[in-house]
Structure 1
Amino acid sequence: MQKRRVGLIFGGKSAEHEVSLQSAKNVLEAIDHTKYEVVLIGIDKGGHWHINDAADFLLHENDPKHIALKKTAEGIQLLPGEQKYQLQSTNTANLLDQLHVVFPLVHGTLGEDGSMQGMLRMANLPFVGSSVLGSAVCMDKDIAKRLLRDAGLAVANWRTYTRATRHTISFQTLKEELGLPFFIKPANQGSSVGVSKVESEQTFAAAIDEAFRYDHKVLIEEAVVGREIECAVLGNEQPKASILGEIIANGSFYSYDAKYIDETGATLQIPADLSEEVTAQAQIAAIAAFTALNCEGFARVDFFLTPQHKLIINEVNTIPGFTKISMYPKLWEHSGLAYSDLIDSLLQLAIERHQQEAFLHDLQS
């Protein structure tokens, strides 16, 4: 059987560059090499694309704080509209063999926000994960919360501000409307990048500055007291939910470092110690959120479970991490789907969706 050629795109200009490198490393190690041939396409922090050698593409690969992409002399460009050769080396001008499917692992800005997905659609390439709309709405926490709320799903109370309305932000008003503490977040970042927990006016201005470093729109959100529960969703038109896991943060909240760098920053409890009733409610809500936000392929849905047993959706992540301490693959592993099989399922879902889109295009021709 001929191997399918998988383009693994990773890195990128976002604040989650290092996380993406770790994700790519783990996927490369876990993918079934008897079925797939992997083409590594790394994007450096400057936005330049590189064709990488699987045997030597990372620097400090076992150090999450200093892991880096090894740049190469061979760049890459896409040829939209080509049926057999979509990629060309910028160094040699040689056409590269056809990719059968792409696995984008660029977290955050320009990878998870619909930009990468739009480019891949223009190039007529099947790709893993949500398409343009689902990626864009999930990346924008403000828009996602509005859609979830309109779908009848519970979300935390919040306020939204842009640079144009920044002058109207009042600590006293927010304290009265949201209570203390509250969180300040960039609207279009993931993995707790730029997030601050504000407990007093002394830290308020610095937290606002930090959020606006990463985006032109910020959310200020009430702090929800509750357990942090996560559910992995897999599928296209008929998505399935995994068993549930719980994040037990060892700090004041589940920070960026706790997720990806400090292995002692949080404890992952799988399965979460929950009743069958609450488990079923969370799984139903996770699929409902996945559907409401037009997700496809995979996503991780994060909840707060309050002492009153109310489930509140925190966020939906359309390219969840695949690092060795990431929740998404762990949840499926405990649900009976091994890491290698999970990757295979994602690639198959991408190809199936692309075939359906091609069929629809043929009907219109």
Structure 2
Amino acid sequence: MTKAKVGIIFGGKSAEHEVSLQSAKNIVDAIDKDKYDVVLLGIDKDGKWHLNDQSSYLLNEENPKLIQLNKTNKGVAIVPGEVTDQLVNLSGSEALGQLDVVFPILHGTLGEDGSIQGMLRLANLPFVGTGVLGSAVSMDKDIAKRLLKEAGISVAKSVTLTKNKRDQINYEEVKTKLGLPMFIKPANQGSSVGVSKVRNEQEFNAGINDAFLYDHKLLIEETVIGREVECAVLGNENPIASLPGEILPQTDFYSYESKYIDEKGADLAIPADLTDELTKKVQEAAVEVFQSLNCEGLARVDFFLKDDGELVVNEVNTLPGFTRISMYPKLWDISGISYPELINKLIELAIERHQRDLQLKNAVYED
């Protein structure tokens, strides 16, 4: 049987570079080697692409704080429009062959904001995950909130601030509207990067300054009192939802450290201790959010579950972490889909969508 060639793109220029390295390692370890040939395409923090070898693509791979991409002298590029020789070795302009599908496990900016998805569309390559539009709107928390509110889905109250209007924000007015404590977060980041919990004016100003280091737009959100419940969604036109899980933070909030560095930073209740009725409600809401934001392939939908049973959407992650402590694969494992099966299903969904898109006409007049 001919094995499909899967290009795994990882690393990248975002603040979540190290998370991506961890995710790539877990995918490479779990993927069915009898079914797939893996091509590793590592992107360093300067944006250069490297063709990596499976035996040496990571440095300090067991330490999430020190993990690094092992840079090579094999620069590589994807050539749009080519059918059989999409990969080219930049050092010698040598064609490296064809990819059958791409798994872009790039978290954060340039990875899940539609950028890499647009490039792969131009290259006519099937890829795992949501397309350009769904990726872009889900990544931008401001735009996602607007679309979800339009669909009648509850989101936290918030104020949006752009850098050019930094001097127009008034702490007392925001406090009156949102209350204390409040959260400040970059509009286009994930994994709690640049997020601050604010209890006073000094923390408010510091939080704004910190968030603007990562984006030109930020959100100031109210604190929603409720359980932190997450649900994994899988599929294209007919998505399904996993059993929900619950985050039980052991720190002030579910920070970057808690998610990816400190395994004791949060307890994960998988599955969440919910009634059958609430479980179904979370699953149905997750699918509704997924479809409202034009997601495909996969996403993790995060909610606050209030005491009165109301679900408030916290955020949607279209390329959630695949690290050893990440919720997305853990939720599917407890729901009956193992890690290798999950990877296989995501690849099948990518190819299925690509074949569907190929059926569309791209010309008014036929040659």
TM-score when normalising by structure 1: 0.99
The aligned counterpart of 1:315 is 315
The whole-number CA distance in structure 1 between the counterparts of 2:78 and 2:67 is 27
Q: What is the Cα deviation at residue 96 of structure 1? A: 1.1
Q: In structure 2, how many angstroms separate the alpha carbons of the residues matched to 1:362 and 1:157?
A: 42
In the alignment, which residue of structure 2 is the partner of 1:231?
Answer: 231
Partner of 1:174: 174
Aligned residue number for residue 44 of structure 1: 44
User: Corresponding residue for 2:258?
Assistant: 258
Check if 1:59 corresponds to 2:52: no
2:278 is equivalent to residue 283 of structure 1: no
Q: Distance between the aligned counterparts of 2:74 and 2:278, measured in 1?
A: 52
Count residues in correspondence: 365
Q: Distance in 1 between matches of 2:237 and 2:309?
A: 29
Q: Alignment identity in percent?
A: 62
The 2-side partners of 1:361 and 1:231 are apart by: 36
Shift of 1:362: 6.5
Q: 1:273 to 1:363 in 2, by over 3 A?
A: farther
Equivalent position amino acid for 1:16 in 2: E
The C-alpha deviation readout for 1:73-131, integer Å capped at 9, x for no partner, is 00111211111111100012111121000000110010110000000000000000000
Distance 2:233 2:343 in 1: 13
Query: For residue 140 of structure 1, what is the aligned residue in structure 2?
Result: 140
Task: Give 1:178-257 correspondences, 5 Å limit.
Answer: 178-257=178-257
Q: Which residues of structure 1 form unaligned runs of 5+? A: none
What do the CA deviations read for 1:322-351 (whole angstroms, capped 9, x no partner)?
Answer: 000000000000000000000000000000
CA distance in 2, matches of 1:196, 1:171: 15
What's 1:158 paired with? 158
Partner of 2:115: 115
Superposition misfits of 4+ residues, deviation over 2 angstroms: 361-365
3-state DSSP class of the match of 1:262? Answer: coil
> Which residue does 1:33 correspond to in 2?
33
Q: Which amino acid aligns with 1:10?
A: F
Taking the aligned partners of 1:83 and 1:137, their CA distance within structure 2 comes to 30
Residue 205 of structure 1: how far off its partner (Å)? 0.9
Q: CA RMSD in A?
A: 0.9
Q: CA deviation at 1:361?
A: 3.2
Mean CA deviation greater in 272-281 or 239-248:
272-281
Work out the CA distance in 2 between the residues paired with 1:362 and 1:309. Answer: 47
Q: Distance in 1 between matches of 2:35 and 2:47?
A: 30
Range moving further from structure 2, 82-91 or 7-16: 82-91
Aligned residue for 1:243, secondary structure, equals: coil
CA distance in 1, matches of 2:165, 2:81: 42
Q: Which residue of structure 2 aligns with residue 302 of structure 1?
A: 302
With structure 2 as the length reference, what TM-score do the two structures score? 0.98
1:294-321 CA distance string (max 9 Å, x none): 0000000000011222110000100000
AA matched with 1:182: M
Any idea what SS the aligned residue of 1:72 has?
A: coil
Q: Match for residue 106 of structure 1?
A: 106
Q: 1:62: Cα distance to partner?
A: 0.3
Comparing 325-334 and 80-89, the one that deviates more: 80-89
